[in-house]
């Protein structure tokens, strides 16, 4: 273009997105079936740094890597109207590490999610075993909901050898792994028995009084506990509640469904959208009332913060994204958490040396160092980072029979580091990383909130 010509007025900026500017949400469902792979594609200058971050490409020679799945698929579609999404996109585990790598801010994971959505919606046989298997895995919440009604039976049945053999042969769910145990009492049942929001308000008031804060101080959070801490590890949810109440926060546990993480990873965007609508609607109302959404699972906070606004145009989605925090992160910002931890000590069964693994989805929120740095000066416990490799399980990825070996190969580096670490108890924020850590090392795995509870709550 010559300098004399004024460029036409348009919203399209070839160098956007750049420093944290918002991406235009792509309206994928339900009005239109057009999957738009474009956003940010033109900012890719093919430095390939994303490829050096991809844990799948590192071990799987058939996987072409994030640069191909995102910007290159878009380019191929431009030159060939009949171009179909390459089926390798189903091998992406949605760890989202590529996002953090790109020096020009290409929204790679958004492109992968969109490409996967298009592949599943338009190319995948809905009667295939793979589709059915993926759908069951992605809708973990449904299985967990049913299982939690009969936890003892479910715990037995899900790990009953012959049944697992059949599951592997017919559905392709690996029989190598142990299904996570279902809690005898879910978090929500515990929460209701305990007196719900009313009790929490009382506890928070008492704590504020103890701390010399005004009793009517406006400190309140809405807990997005996610499926796992509800059905499998309610101790994490309880720790979250007790720690927040200790700082004088009133906690509510609003209506919620799955965050959608396993659905994004399997291209089930219809399912994910349904769940997201419920979550956004209940969280956005609370945000208007002054609550902040707090998650203890880093994949849940990642979904609310990043994947929802990137993929869905739902009323209030940006507002919820802006007001969602990871549980420890929020306290670091608003309380003198460092000071309190430094002044505290732990004894009992959490006075341990921990082998800590930062989940990919905490890494992508800039939280990978949080636990290690926070507990540095805590008397009685040690937290040692076991390195920056991916654990390899990536939610449903490591549960698929054909991916199991690769999942363990990716995790190998973490297992080795865990073995060399001083501690023999693991620590992580992510439920499926915890599964993988336990599976590969035999260690018991705790959540940082549990250590925080032991240190700060009477």
Residues in contact with other proteins by CB under 8 A are 18-20, 22, 47-49, 51-54, 57-59, 61-62, 64-65, 68, 100-103, 105, 305-306, 309, 318, 321-325, 332-336, 338, 363-369, 373, 376, 412
Smallest gap, in angstroms, from Cβ of residue 6 to other proteins?
Answer: 10
Smallest gap, in angstroms, from Cβ of residue 238 to other proteins?
Answer: 25
Smallest gap, in angstroms, from Cβ of residue 221 to other proteins?
Answer: 14
Distance CA 135, CA 108 (A): 23
Distance CA 367, CA 297 (A): 12
* Of 281, 332, 267, 230, the residue nearest 128 (C-alpha): 267
By beta-carbon proximity to other proteins, the closer residue of 67 and 238 is 67
400 has which bridge partners? 173
Smallest gap, in angstroms, from Cβ of residue 34 to other proteins?
Answer: 25
By beta-carbon proximity to other proteins, the closer residue of 41 and 147 is 41
Distance CA 457, CA 237 (A): 14
Distance CA 97, CA 50 (A): 8
- Name residues whose C-beta falls within 8 Å of residue 121's C-beta, 6 or more positions apart in sequence: 33, 35, 267, 269, 270
Distance CA 164, CA 317 (A): 39
By beta-carbon proximity to other proteins, the closer residue of 211 and 376 is 376
Contact 227, 258 (CB under 8 A): yes
Smallest gap, in angstroms, from Cβ of residue 291 to other proteins?
Answer: 14
Q: Taking the CA atoms of the chain, what radius of gyration do you get in angstroms?
A: 22
Distance CA 196, CA 200 (A): 6
Distance CA 379, CA 80 (A): 62
Distance CA 242, CA 397 (A): 33
* Of 418, 427, 320, 347, the residue nearest 383 (C-alpha): 427
By beta-carbon proximity to other proteins, the closer residue of 75 and 188 is 75
Q: Which residue has the tokens 């006075």?
A: 351
Smallest gap, in angstroms, from Cβ of residue 10 to other proteins?
Answer: 15
By beta-carbon proximity to other proteins, the closer residue of 120 and 317 is 317
By beta-carbon proximity to other proteins, the closer residue of 205 and 334 is 334
Smallest gap, in angstroms, from Cβ of residue 61 to other proteins?
Answer: 5
By beta-carbon proximity to other proteins, the closer residue of 2 and 162 is 2
By beta-carbon proximity to other proteins, the closer residue of 181 and 372 is 372
By beta-carbon proximity to other proteins, the closer residue of 188 and 334 is 334
By residue count, the chain amounts to 458
Q: Which residue has the tokens 């693991």?
A: 426
* Of 446, 449, 445, 429, the residue nearest 247 (C-alpha): 449
Smallest gap, in angstroms, from Cβ of residue 149 to other proteins?
Answer: 36
Smallest gap, in angstroms, from Cβ of residue 125 to other proteins?
Answer: 26
Q: Would you call the peptide bond into 272 cis, given omega within 30 degrees of 0 as the criterion? A: no
Smallest gap, in angstroms, from Cβ of residue 41 to other proteins?
Answer: 18
Q: Count of CB atoms within 10 A of residue 91's CB? A: 19
By beta-carbon proximity to other proteins, the closer residue of 61 and 80 is 61
């Amino acid at each position: 273009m010559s300098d004399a010509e004024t460029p036409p007025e348009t919203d399209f900026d070839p160098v956007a997105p750049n420093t944290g500017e918002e991406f235009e949400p792509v309206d994928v469902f339900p009005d239109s079936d057009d999957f738009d792979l474009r956003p940010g594609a033109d900012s890719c200058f093919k430095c390939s740094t994303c490829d050096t971050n991809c844990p799948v490409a590192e071990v799987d020679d058939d996987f072409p890597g994030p640069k191909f799945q995102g910007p290159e698929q878009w380019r191929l579609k431009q030159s060939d109207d009949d171009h179909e999404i390459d089926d390798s996109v189903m091998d992406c585990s949605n760890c989202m590490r590529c996002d953090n790598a790109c020096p020009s801010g290409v929204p790679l994971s958004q492109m992968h999610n969109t490409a996967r959505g298009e592949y599943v919606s338009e190319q995948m046989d809905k009667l295939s075993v793979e589709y059915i298997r993926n759908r069951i895995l992605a809708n973990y919440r449904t299985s967990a909901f049913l299982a939690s009604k009969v936890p003892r039976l479910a715990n037995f049945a899900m790990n009953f050898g012959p049944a697992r053999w059949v599951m592997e042969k017919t559905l392709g769910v690996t029989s190598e792994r142990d299904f996570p145990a279902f809690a005898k009492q879910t978090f929500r049942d515990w929460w209701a028995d305990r007196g719900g929001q009313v009790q929490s308000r009382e506890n928070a008031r008492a704590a504020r009084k103890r701390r010399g804060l005004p009793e009517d101080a406006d400190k309140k959070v809405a807990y997005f506990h996610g499926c796992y801490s509800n059905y499998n590890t309610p101790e994490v949810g309880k720790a979250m509640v007790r720690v927040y109440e200790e700082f004088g926060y009133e906690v509510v546990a609003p209506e919620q469904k799955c965050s959608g993480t396993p659905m994004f990873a399997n291209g089930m965007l219809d399912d994910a959208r349904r769940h997201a609508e419920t979550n956004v609607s209940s969280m956005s109302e609370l945000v208007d009332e002054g609550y902040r959404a707090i998650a203890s699972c880093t994949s849940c906070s990642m979904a609310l913060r990043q994947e929802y606004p990137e993929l869905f145009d739902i009323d209030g989605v940006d507002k919820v994204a802006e007001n969602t925090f990871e549980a420890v992160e929020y306290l670091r910002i608003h309380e003198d958490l460092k000071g309190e931890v430094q002044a505290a000590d732990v004894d009992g069964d959490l006075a341990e040396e921990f082998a800590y693994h930062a989940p990919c989805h905490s890494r992508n929120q800039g939280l990978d160092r949080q636990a290690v740095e926070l507990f540095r000066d805590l008397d009685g416990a040690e937290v040692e980072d076991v390195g920056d490799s991916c654990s390899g399980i990536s939610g449903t990825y490591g549960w698929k029979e054909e991916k199991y070996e690769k999942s363990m190969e990716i995790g190998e580096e973490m297992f080795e580091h865990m073995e060399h670490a001083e501690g023999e108890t693991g620590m992580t924020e992510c439920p499926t990383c915890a599964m993988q850590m336990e599976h590969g090392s035999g260690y018991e795995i705790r959540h940082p909130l549990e250590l925080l509870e032991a240190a700060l709550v009477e």
